[in-house]
Every structure is written in C-alpha cells, then in structure tokens.
Amino acid sequence: MDIIKDVRAVVMDLDDTLISAYRRPDLVWRMVCQRFQSELGALEPDEAARALTRAGEAFWGDPKRHALGRLDPPGARRIIVGEAFRALRESGRRSPSREIAELMADAFSLQRDRDMRLEPGADAVLVHLRKAGYLLALLTNGTGPLQRAKIERFDLTSRFHHIQIEGEVGVGKPDPAAFRQVFEALDVDPETVCVVGDSLEWDIRPARVLGCRTVLYDPDASSGDEGDRGEADIVARTLESLVIHLPDPQGLPSEAI
C-alpha cells in the first residue's frame, strides 16, 4: 500500500469526491425521459436520453461554457435540452415543445438534488484526518449560495479549517491562483499539501504542477486499475483508504476507521 509522507494539509474537492453529485448523467436523463414518455410522442425515451447525454457532454466539454454553466446548473440544463432537441429536429426527428423541454431540464435538476448524498465514509475520514493533526481545506467551484447549501446540507462546515468557493473568491480550479489562496490561508507550502479530487483536469494536474502530492478519487475503477494512476500519486477507490495512504503528520501509521 502506497503511503504519502511529509504532508501537513489535505485539500479536498466537494462534488463527486465528498458528495455524490453529478456522476452518470445518462442514467438520470433516461429516468427523466421515461417519466415524460407521453410528452415525447413518437420519440423513444432511450433515443431522447442519448441525445440529451451527447448534448450535455458537448456543453460541459467546452471550457468557456463550463465556466458559465457551473455558475447556473439549472440554466445550463435548459440550454442542453434545447440543443439536444434542436439536433433531433435537424435530423428529421420530432421533438417536444420548448415548454416540455424546460420541464424536463428542471426535472433533471430536481432529481440530481434528490439523489445527492455523502460519499461512503466521507464524514468519518474528515473527522479522522482532523484528529490526526492535518489541516483540512475544501476547495470547490460553483456559486457561493449553491455550494454553501450543499456544505450546510451535509454538515461539513465544522470539518474544515478553510472553505474556499469559486463564486466567493472570484477564482476557481484549475487556475493555480485558486490553489495558492488555499495554501496562503492554511500557511503551508505546496510541497506539504495533498490534493484529493475526482478530476485529473480540475484537481490532479494543476496541483501537481504546483508541487503537491495528489490522490485521484475514482470509486468506479476496477480492482485491477489501481496501478494505472495517470498523473496522480495514488488512485483511491474508497475514501476510507485515505486513512491508510495518509499516515498522521508525525509519520505514524493511522488506525483504520
């Protein structure tokens, strides 16, 4: 088991790291399309769901649109639905009215909110790391009200020494300035920081450039994939495994939780 030593602080991502928020949009779109099957008419729910998933991937894959969309996820989903159904019409398929499309987008947003939950072991790991003596920071993109609501919903405020939200400070990941603000707030050097997140692009790569150690949280990886780390020092399939990968700051082995 790989150990990350000489770390004083742990910087955690929020969405799809500490809380399950946005994984598998294809399954949620399929659920929504089945719910609106009668409004879809001759358009099969699975076909509509595939079109919506493709439109979502195209939207969120564009850095400029991503930057705007994460500040207004419900509005972004209305754009995605409109573009998906426009593409279907251009291919000769019939699609629902704009009013139905917006209702479907809002249903997706509501379902996402209902499904949101803490990742298994998240709270116990945060409690353990803090008691072990690590400085803990939460670094997340998005608007202040949206992300604060999640933080309060899952009672995470007291778990961290520093919470930094893109919409509140004016800069977000993967901009190095966002990470540097966290280092300054914690009064630590980047070489003594471990960044934990689910994204190579948003969490791992920018942190490594700055000299941090990194853990990629990938709960969907198969047991045989742990050695395929990409650019991360460690791939963690469970949050509980952080206790093993991160000994206490004095270098002593951590006890299992």
Domain residue spans of the chain: 9-21+117-245, 25-115
CB-side neighbour CA atoms (13 Å) of 108 = 29
pLDDT band for position 21 (cuts 50, 70, 90): confident
pLDDT band for position 56 (cuts 50, 70, 90): very high
Rounded average pLDDT over 3-26: 93
Judge contact between 96 and 36, C-beta under 8 A.
Answer: yes
- DSSP summary character for residue 72: -
- Percent of the chain topping pLDDT 70: 93
pLDDT band for position 248 (cuts 50, 70, 90): confident
Q: Mapping DSSP to helix (H, G, I), strand (E, B) and coil, where does residue 237 land?
A: coil
**Residue 1: per-residue pLDDT:** 56
pLDDT higher than 60, residue 226: no
| Centroid of chain to Cα 113 | 14
Structure confidence by residue, pLDDT tens digits, 30-47: 999 999 999 999 999 999
**Residue 13: per-residue pLDDT:** 98
CATH superfamily of 9-21+117-245: HAD superfamily/HAD-like (3.40.50.1000)
Rounded average pLDDT over 141-162: 96
Q: Which tokens is 100 given?
A: 């139905």
Strand 162-165 versus strand 135-140 pairing type: parallel
What is the C-alpha to C-alpha distance for residues 105 and 86, in angstroms, rounded to an integer? 14
**Residue 230: per-residue pLDDT:** 65
**Residue 106: per-residue pLDDT:** 98
DSSP string, 178-191: HHHHHHHHHT--GG
The helix or strand, by DSSP H or E, that contains position 68, with its residue range, turns out to be helix 63-69
pLDDT higher than 80, residue 224: no
**Residue 216: per-residue pLDDT:** 96
Max alpha carbon distance in the chain (Å)?
65
- Average confidence score pLDDT of the chain: 92
What is the C-alpha to C-alpha distance for residues 257 and 129, in angstroms, rounded to an integer? 11
Nearest to 196 by CA among 220, 176, 216, 179: 216
Rounded average pLDDT over 150-167: 97
Judge contact between 156 and 120, C-beta under 8 A.
Answer: no
Q: Which tokens is 94 given?
A: 């019939």
